[in-house]
Amino acid sequence: MNREDLQNEEKNRVSFINSNNGMRYERCSGSGGGVAAADDTITVGFSQVGAESDWRTANTESMKSTFSEENGYELIFDDAQQKQENQLTAIRNFIQQEVDYILLAPVTETGWDTVLQEAKDADIPVIIVDRMVDVSDDSLYTTWIGTDSLLEGRKAAEWLNAYTTAKGIDAKDVNIVDIQGTIGSTAQIGRSKGLEEGVDNYGWNLLAQQSGEFTQAKGQEVMESMLKQYDNINVVYCENDNEAFGAIDAIEAAGKTVGSDIANGEIMVMSFDTTNAGLTDTLAGKIACDVECNPLHGPRAEELIKALEAGEEVEKLNYVDEEIFATDDTVDKVKAVNSLDEEGEYDVTPITQEIIDGRAY
Ligand code: AHR
């Protein structure tokens, strides 16, 4: 199955309209009927952003396989189709249904104060997953689990600097376009900022920034229009793998060559996520550097719920460690500062088929 088929299959599988309240939700365990679950079953409402990317599909799968009936859960899953208004409706439905926990993967950072206050008033703990929320009062959610998007962006920028320096390419000859993620999402804010800091630090030319909404179709459309506007693009900074797939298609359709040899006219594509398809393109030399964003949050969210069930305190922010993969070994390490202001040194792993085969997503 190719990546588009996978995305379509996911879309069809996770969404249906409940005729009573118009909410797109799927009850993932039990035999239907009443919302109340058996006494020892933990009911979890999960508001998912959508099914926009391979990463998101892997994230949904991780949640569904963790919060299964066999594991003692009833999962009420809602696909918001990338719309915050759908997420607000879903959360209000979860509150009405008196779920034990709400899991929220927020589409953007702002706009959550009121609904999270409603969940708090109903005494329902909220666990934020993946992207962050920007709220006036941190007690509106219980805990957060996800990735450090700013660190991801900084790793990518440091890799680009190390790579171009190693190849003797002058910073003023590096002409970048940034296909951004969904504007206002943590993943976009952090990755765009990481690049912008690199531009300030190293003096590259940032020709344009435009959102590709984390989808392949939009990534392709944006790349097509950027190629028409600029004839000197030699680096495309895609803020996720699906945008990179679209950008690669657009570059090749324009008769240009995707690759790392930018001194000889190739256009380098960089990306985030390290999905199987993304790393396959990295192995083929089409994505020069792919910075990991790990989607397997199901077991991590379950660990937090188990701790809360046991009456334990949990950390407010729970960051996941992530790797960097590249087509070749030109750069073997990068130094970067994370969101907590700690500097770290991170290995860059040249990708192999064996690594791809051994990965879960
Ligand atoms: O928030 C994580 C981002 O959202 C992933 O990079 C992207 O693929 C997804 O849609």
pLDDT at 22 over 50: no
CA distances from 89 to 61, 65, 96, 117, 344 (A): 22, 24, 11, 14, 41
Q: What is the pLDDT of residues 186-221, one digit of tens each?
A: 999 999 999 999 999 999 999 999 999 999 999 999
Q: Which atom of ligand 1 is nearest to the CA of 214?
A: 10
Exposure string over 15-36, b if 16+ CB within 10 A, otherwise e: beeeeeeebbbbebbbeeeebe
Distance (Å) from CA 196 to ligand 1 centroid: 19
With the most atoms of ligand 1 within 8 angstroms of its CB, the residue from 11, 56, 149 to mutate is 56
Is the CB of residue 272 below 6 angstroms from any atom belonging to ligand 1?
yes
Is the CB of residue 240 below 6 angstroms from any atom belonging to ligand 1?
yes
Whole-number pLDDT of residue 26? 67
Residue 238: beta bridge partners?
Answer: 179
Is the CB of residue 52 below 6 angstroms from any atom belonging to ligand 1?
yes
Q: What is the pLDDT of residues 179-190, one digit of tens each?
A: 999 999 999 999
Distance (Å) from CA 131 to ligand 1 centroid: 8
Is the CB of residue 187 below 6 angstroms from any atom belonging to ligand 1?
yes
With the most atoms of ligand 1 within 8 angstroms of its CB, the residue from 6, 53, 245 to mutate is 53
226 confidence band (pLDDT: 50, 70, 90): very high
Question: In this structure, what DSSP letter does residue 262 have?
Answer: G
Distance (Å) from CA 332 to ligand 1 centroid: 25
Distance (Å) from CA 43 to ligand 1 centroid: 26
Residue 25: beta bridge partners?
Answer: 78
Q: Which atom of ligand 1 is nearest to the CA of 50?
A: 10
Structure tokens at 259: 């690759």
User: What is the C-alpha separation between 86 and 127, in angstroms, rounded?
Assistant: 18
Distance (Å) from CA 241 to ligand 1 centroid: 9
Q: What is the pLDDT of residues 274-293, one digit of tens each?
A: 999 999 999 999 999 999 99
| Reported pTM | 0.91
Structure tokens at 47: 């508001």
Q: Which atom of ligand 1 is nearest to the CA of 54?
A: 8
Distance (Å) from CA 56 to ligand 1 centroid: 6
pLDDT at 259 over 60: yes
Is the CB of residue 218 below 6 angstroms from any atom belonging to ligand 1?
no
With the most atoms of ligand 1 within 8 angstroms of its CB, the residue from 132, 240, 296 to mutate is 240
264 confidence band (pLDDT: 50, 70, 90): very high
Is the CB of residue 214 below 6 angstroms from any atom belonging to ligand 1?
yes
In which residue are the tokens 């892997």 written?
Answer: 58
User: What is the C-alpha separation between 70 and 41, in angstroms, rounded?
Assistant: 10
Is the CB of residue 237 below 6 angstroms from any atom belonging to ligand 1?
no
